Amino acid sequence: MTNLFFQFALGIILSIIISSGAYYMRALSRSGAFAAFLLGSVIFGLGGLNWAILLMAFFIPSSLLSFLFKRQKKVIEADFAKGSRRDAGQVAANGAIAGLCALLFPLLGQPGWLWAAAAGALAAASADTWATEIGVLGKHRPRLITTGRPVDPGTSGGVSLAGFAAALAGSTLLAVFAVLLKPASVPNTLLNNLILAAAVIMGGLDGSILDSILGAGAQAMYYCDTCRKETEKYPTHTCGSPTRLFRGQAWMNNDWVNTFCTFSGGLLAAVLSFFLLSSPLPNLSNGGAEMLKLTVSSPAFANGQPIPSKYSCDGENTSPTLKWGDVPQTARSLALIMEDPDAPMGTYTHWVVYNLPANTGSLSEGQPAGNLLNGGTQGINSSRTNAYFGPCPPPGKPHRYFFKLYALDIDPSLAPGMTVEQLTSAMAGHILAQGEWMGTYRR
């Protein structure tokens, strides 16, 4: 409770500093600064540093874009309902969904899909902002998304190639931060990271597209008879003349459009993550019993020492010889998993072997793909093949490669084609002994 109180107090202090700074820099109006303080207190105080950085990944770049090329956008901004200084309505429309996710995150057990929902909502807000700020500067006139007719830059519902590219860039930025800062409830695997990134990007683009559709049809747009121009401004235009409702629903202002935009982006990211992200790997202990240790070794390289390039993607990409002993007499089968926990996109699985007979004492060098001659089965690795895939790290520091062997009390009859997540789930509670051998490799 003390830690939570301290974190919330720190969140309030940081929110005051950031919202005050944004007000001083004219990124927020007075009401916007107050709303940002409340939103930041919730996200910073309850979510912690990772949630705070995710919010800043949207707010800082979007605010900076609002100031870029301001002179070129001055004429266009005259027809916008609001300027570059965000008020309370804009802050709520862009950040309320993420704030709600931060509030529910600890109450619902910190699910990964809720993190994705927050990131997707902010990605939608980012995509919409980037598309607006950059898209209006394009050389070609945008077209209304519903009819395809050319419209003036800045017209609600207008889309362009430049705007779409900007929306994609804004969504991708949030996706990168979502992957780098993801909670422990999302296992750090390559597949999970790709799924999470794709879900956030798709959520961002989905929200941006919905924003354009609503802007073209449902958003209240007004007309100034004096200037003969469409505008979002009501009840008077910049020239001082009254404006009249031209199309859309009177209640559907820009803030409501943005709210639907962020809700849609968060919802899509949450649904995709809920069904596609793998759950945390189960505990592999066998009910609290003392775990026996297997002796694992390889004549190809010493434990903790470099793996010869012969066994990597730079060489023959062939599996090394592995030997083991001290298998419990009660064991019925063995399983082997080779992983690189230092891979840039999360733990990379290089080799999955199971259904090995318990009396097997080694695997010879150069195991071919598919089923092994001794009855073992090779599962699906991160490269989506049922074979050994050698070390292949990016240039830089050495990566570690763990060969983990498990003695199981289950028969060697597991189904073919299992991934490491499926195998780990099947092994949970059935491990009698385990051991490992580790080598390093760098390029």
Instruction: Convert the pLDDT of each residue in 213-248 to its tens digit.
Output: 998 888 888 888 888 887 878 888 878 889 998 888
Q: Where are the beta strands (DSSP E) in 215-304?
A: 221-224, 229-231, 243-247, 292-293, 295-297
In terms of Cα–Cα distance, which of 208, 220, 139 is closest to 167? Answer: 208
- Local structure of 298: helix, strand or coil: coil
Q: Predicted confidence band at 403 (pLDDT cuts at 50, 70, 90)?
A: very high
Tokens (6 digits) for 151: 């419209």
Question: Can you name the residues that pair with 363 across neighbouring β-strands?
Answer: 322
SS3 426: helix
If one counts every other C-beta atom within 10 angstroms of the C-beta of residue 330, the result is: 12
Question: What span, in angstroms and rounded, lies between the C-alpha atoms of 408 and 286?
Answer: 10
Q: Quote the pLDDT of residue 2.
A: 46
Residue 101, pLDDT above cutoff 70: yes
More confident residue, 202 or 17: 202
Residues sharing a CB contact under 8 Å with residue 212, sequence separation 6 or more, in sequence order:
145, 156, 157, 158, 159
- Residue 187: what pLDDT? 82
- Which pTM was predicted? 0.73
Side-chain half-sphere of 97: how many Cα atoms within 13 Å?
31
**pLDDT surpassing 70 at residue 165:** yes
pLDDT at residue 1, rounded to an integer: 44
Tell me the domains of the chain and their CATH numbers. 2-276 (no CATH), 292-441 (3.90.280.10)
Is the backbone peptide bond immediately before 111 cis, with ω within 30 degrees of 0?
A: no
